[in-house]
A and B are shown apart, each in its own frame.
Chain A
Amino acid sequence: MILTALAAELRRELTQLFRYPTELLSEVLFISIVFYGLFLGGSYMAGRGILGSRLSDIIIGYTLWTLMMGAIGNMGWAIANEAQNGTLEQVCLAPLPIRVIFALRSVANLAYDFVLTGLALVLIMVLTGHFIHFSPLELVPVILSIGVSFGVGYLVASVTILFKRSNQFLNLLQFGVLFLVMTPFTDLPGVFKYIAVVVPIGPQMGVLRHLALGQSSFPGEEAWLLLGIVNMLLWLVIGYAVYGAAHERARSRGALGHY
């Protein structure tokens, strides 16, 4: 049943992608132009040479941030949108648990986001003239980070199912995610680096940062990857449990379909 439901979600996403291609194109342009604006501003202030040495890092960070914001916001956005359009209660009528349906929907949205960020990445590289070399190994922390994003996405969805609004929350959250992407928690001195274990995407970003800098290995890499898996599972479990409680609360208040 789960595979049939996933196929239905993917088909719905693809159908809309092909029916309304201008939406995808405008998003690609928006993401690329925002980055290019930041790139031009950074080049003016820091000088092209200094920026150039960290450009790969910045492009990867920006792309990951875009992907993560998609993964974090998709569930909440879908709930708010479906509540407004009057389809949320129909989704809740399905025999599958709603948390599973939203997870499947997030996977389908992620496929869209991969196409979107992939195109934006190519455009960014063309605009900046800087082509990054992305090793397949770097995909591991990226995938783990997206797993964490789903967990945080459940938290956003929890707020949305209760209040049917998530825009303000997501606006604030994107700065938080930027902070998480840019802060080197794993490089903090002494025992402070272990804060990274519980901070969302802390270990994943540590591994990714070192890999992006061309270090094929760094001290404790395997341990940090393992902790990255623990970190992902931790946030997935927290998000899943909190959403379950929020959903029951909304059901109890009779406010599943509306606020």
Chain B
Amino acid sequence: MLLEVEAVRKSYRRRGGAEVLAVRDVSLQLSAGRILAFLGPNGAGKTTTIKMIAGLVKMDAGDVRIAGHSLRTAGASARRQLGAVLEGSRNLYWRLTPVENIEYWAGIRGVPRREARERGLELLRLCGLEEKAHQTVQQLSRGMQQLVAICAALVHRPNLLLLDEPTLGLDLDAADRIQQLVEQLARVNGVGILLTTHQMEVAQRLSDEVVLIREGAVILHGPTDVVRERLSGDAYVFELAGNLSAEQRAYLAKRDAEFDGSLAFRVVLSSPGDFYEVIARLQPCPIVRASRDTADLGAVFRHYVHGDGNEGAQP
């Protein structure tokens, strides 16, 4: 296992002296080449947990193991396995160029200059930033800066990458490039990636596993598709290429179908046999698509965070 977080806990003392439990016995695991979306509302304890994994916040209890190295007993070895791009930070020196930044961050991690330069240029090429390699970072767009920050975090070839809100505030193109890079790092290079995001479509596209936390405690943990499937129920979506007759519409109305325009509708089926009955009733209207309406991660998030799905389940 690449990352093992074992019952980490953190509390802070407020100015008045009251103690606030920010993270309550959070445990999670991540394997190499997998992407874990660490989700939760603002103030849920995501950033505190990520910073405990990175060793930036001292945990009160529990332990973090990165590639078998305990953060408590072998902190330096654990940190060697780790790269991170933190939210709300520049992560880079703006008066240096991307190459100079990469050389610097590599240098303080013990990577010799020549190796760092070659690796840096290779990473910048991968991100399509080779032409910007020698411009100062302050001259780059926000999206490019974020890509350079990811490159700098990868220069020492870490096995684990922590990304805190990597696409926050970026335009669509930049966000897309970062998502492509994240996918490539995990699928091709075998880097384990733990990312936090409030953008559920980003989490849905990228993640293999999801951990949802609320008020400092894990309320859901499991493979993304299983988590979505669990909430999907028996709703189906049909898309048509022609208009329905009045009789067909009446039939669907009886089944409480929800129409999205005149050519698409969503209907909840009570048994698998119902599916064939609906298909038969739609004849001869051409059907373009008929599929199970899988819940998106946004719906899962809303269900567990705002709804009643807080049973702390592992699907």
Q: Which positions in A face B, CB cutoff 8 Å?
A: 1, 4-5, 7-9, 11-12, 15-16, 19-20, 85-87, 89-97, 101, 248, 251-254, 256-257
Contact = CB atoms under 8 A, between A and B. Distances in A.
A94 B10 CA distance: 23
A257 B103 contact: no
B82 A93 contact: yes
B92 interface: yes
Given A16-B95, A95-B76, A251-B56, A8 B106 contact: yes
A8 B90 contact: no
A251 B90 contact: no
A15 B109 CA distance: 19
Interface string B77-116: 1011011101011111111100010011111111111000
Interface of B: 10, 12, 22, 48, 51, 54-58, 76-77, 79-80, 82-84, 86, 88-96, 100, 103-113, 152
Contact of A254 (B51, B94, B111): B51
Q: Interface SS of chain A: helix, strand, loop or mixed?
A: helix
Closest 7 CB pairs of A and B: A8-B107, A86-B89, A1-B110, A86-B90, A95-B76, A251-B58, A94-B108
B111 A4 contact: yes
Contacts of A96: 76, 108, 110
A97 B110 CA distance: 12
27 contacts: A4-B110, A4-B113, A5-B107, A5-B108, A8-B104, A8-B106, A11-B103, A12-B104, A85-B90, A85-B94, A86-B90, A87-B89, A89-B54, A90-B105, A91-B108, A93-B54, A93-B55, A93-B56, A95-B77, A96-B108, A101-B108, A251-B58, A252-B57, A252-B58, A253-B12, A254-B10, A254-B57
A12 B96 contact: yes
A94 B79 contact: yes
A87 B110 contact: no
Contacts of B84: 90, 93
B103 A92 contact: no
